[in-house]
Amino acid sequence: MSNNKLIIFDTTLRDGEQSPGASMTRDEKLRIARALERMRVDVIEAGFAAASPGDFEAIKAIAETVKESTVCSLARASEKDIRAAGEAIRPAARGRIHTFIATSPIHMEKKLRMSPDQVVEAAVRAVRLAREYTDDVEFSAEDAVRSEMDFLVRIFDAVIQAGAKTINVPDTVGYALPDQWAARFRELIERVPNSDKVVWSTHCHNDLGMAVANSLAAVMAGARQVECTINGLGERAGNASLEEVVMAVRTRRDAFQIETGIDTTQLVPTSKLVSSITGYPVQPNKAIVGANAFAHESGIHQDGVLKHRETYEIMRAEDVGWTTNKLTLGKLSGRNAFRTRLQELGVELESEEALNAAFARFKELADKKREIYDEDLQALVTGVGEEAVETLRLISLKVCSETGETPHAQVVLSVDGEERHAESVGGGPVDAVFKGIESIVQSGSALTLYSVNNITSGTDAQGEVTVRVEKDGRIVNGQGADTDIVIASAKAYLNALNRLRQPEQRQHPQLGDV
């Protein structure tokens, strides 16, 4: 591999999914994987095959679908994990197993309860077993940031001899500082035998807000793979943001003198897709993909940009995928035009029933909203295909909200096919609706998040509501979209309660982390 190429390793579907409530269905993972492939991501870490049968099947489906990107599964340094990962990636045109074990004194002693010798033996055994399934094996030393340098040199030497092709050095707890992280990479590359025979990778968490800075410092010190996520999604404070890493390298070619293979025009569409599916909104001032990333409020800035764009813009908005909302369809548009536009957006519905459900939603929206944009279509297909397990359904809703009066709601639901009615009051119309729904369903869950975002501009825009509910340690997200924000809220709450009622298909994916 050329030393001028930076490999982009996306772990949105694995590490990103470890965000509370961000667990994705198989179909949702496939949609994101297709978007990552269109973006020309080098490696897609599709999940943790040993986490559950659901995760295994999702990785396998992605391996069967994705042809251009390498499909990777994470695995602890255990035979069970590695065999699950190997079987999951077997259909892939290019497959990788990413195995890891903790190497810091605190992790080895308190978590693993293993001696350093045992950890090295387990790592070597894991890499050799992974090589039975693929030649593309990556090894990570979990909590490398707090590991002793001599031990890292020892274990990396051993796994390289065992056949590892990529060595990942993770800042698992987001503790590193850029200059120290760069120094650690330089020393490892200098001291580890055969360091020039492998790709050095960095995986940084954002607990101190420095994941991107640390990742780029590692690149400056010789790393040629960055592990990152769309929108910086991830547990705790998240991971290094893919879009920020990619655009920093592209914009500052003078400093990095390397290239990625990423199609940057796909950054914004993919960001919106991930946000829609996970329910994690992108803050307006987020670099690259935030709504205000290329907005200029100051008169001085506006004047400068009008005279010469580069006075205040170091990137072009269109280069990262920002375009004017594209009017696509109207109420007279047919099923074929609808299907074609979805395909152009990278949305592939797997059955005629799913297409019919999405088309019905489209027609309902077209009766309420004169202009329908690509963002509306993306929202329409979120959750399509889940209706087969929808045991709670909104039949009708009436809300009264008047100045000086307590808001009042009348709710009619279908619960397992039986019509149920409720009346309730609340601090606001949405609160009244939620209390009415809960009085019928009696889920016993706690609402931990309520978020509203407009999908497009204008007073007739759809509002997209995300709710997060928790019960007995299980966390799920629900989403709903409608031109009426109260109805959207009811849809989102019912969507979450429907998911909560389904058997949990997977454990929380935080079985281990790098």
- Written as six digits, the tokens of 328 are 């696509």
What are the strands, taking DSSP E only, across 215-254?
225-228
How confident is the model over 165-198, as pLDDT tens digits? 999 999 999 999 999 999 999 999 999 999 999 9
pLDDT tens readout for residues 5-15 = 999 999 999 99
Residue 459 has pLDDT above 70, yes or no: no
At residue 305, the pLDDT reads 43
Instruction: Tell me 5's DSSP state.
Output: B
Give the pLDDT mean for 236-245.
97
Mean per-residue pLDDT over the chain, rounded: 88
d(CA 130, CA 16): 24
Q: What is the CATH number of domain 7-278?
A: 3.20.20.70
Q: Where is average pLDDT lowest: 211-225, 318-332, 364-378, 489-503?
A: 318-332
Mean pLDDT over 372-390 rounds to 65
pLDDT grade for 509, boundaries at 50, 70 and 90: very low
Question: What is the predicted pLDDT for the residue at 302?
Answer: 46
- Helix (H) / strand (E) containing 250: helix 242-251
**If DSSP states are collapsed to H, E and C, what string results for 105-147?**
HHHHHHHHCCCHHHHHHHHHHHHHHHCCCCCCEEEEEECHHHC
Tokens of 58: 């999702």
Please enumerate in sequence order all residues whose Cβ is within 8 A of that of 33, keeping only pairs 6 or more positions apart, or say none.
13, 44, 46, 62, 65, 66, 69, 71
Name the more confident of 324 and 94: 94
- pLDDT of residue 306 exceeding 80: no
Rounded alpha-carbon distances, angstroms, from residue 493 to 32, 86, 261, 433: 24, 38, 40, 10
- pLDDT number for residue 233: 96
How far is it, in rounded angstroms, from Cα 65 to Cα 94?
11
More confident position, 257 or 21: 257
Q: How many CA atoms lie within 13 A of 29 on its CB side?
A: 32
Q: Return the CATH class of domain 389-501.
A: alpha beta
The confidence score (pLDDT) of residue 505 equals 54
Distances (CA, A) of 371 to 319, 357, 437, 484, 498: 26, 20, 32, 16, 31
With 60 as the cut, is the pLDDT of residue 57 above it?
yes
DSSP 143-185: TGGGS-HHHHHHHHHHHHHHT-SEEEEEETTS---HHHHHHHH
Q: Please compute the mean of the pLDDT values over residues 49-57 and round it to a whole number.
A: 92
pLDDT of residue 301: 44
Question: Where exactly are the structural domains of the chain?
Answer: 7-278, 293-323, 329-381, 389-501
Q: Which of 109-118, 130-139, 367-376, 396-405 has the lowest mean pLDDT?
A: 367-376
Per-residue pLDDT, averaged over 498-506, amounts to 76
Mean pLDDT across 333-350:
77
- CB proximity list for 360: less than 8 A, separation 6 or greater: none
Cβ neighbours of 166 (radius 10 Å): 22
Question: What is the model's pTM?
Answer: 0.84
Average pLDDT over residues 364-393: 70
pLDDT at 508 over 70: no
Reported as a pLDDT band with limits 50, 70 and 90, residue 25 is: confident
Q: How does DSSP assign 267-280, residue by residue?
A: HHHHHHHHHHHH--
pLDDT band at residue 18, thresholds of 50, 70 and 90? confident
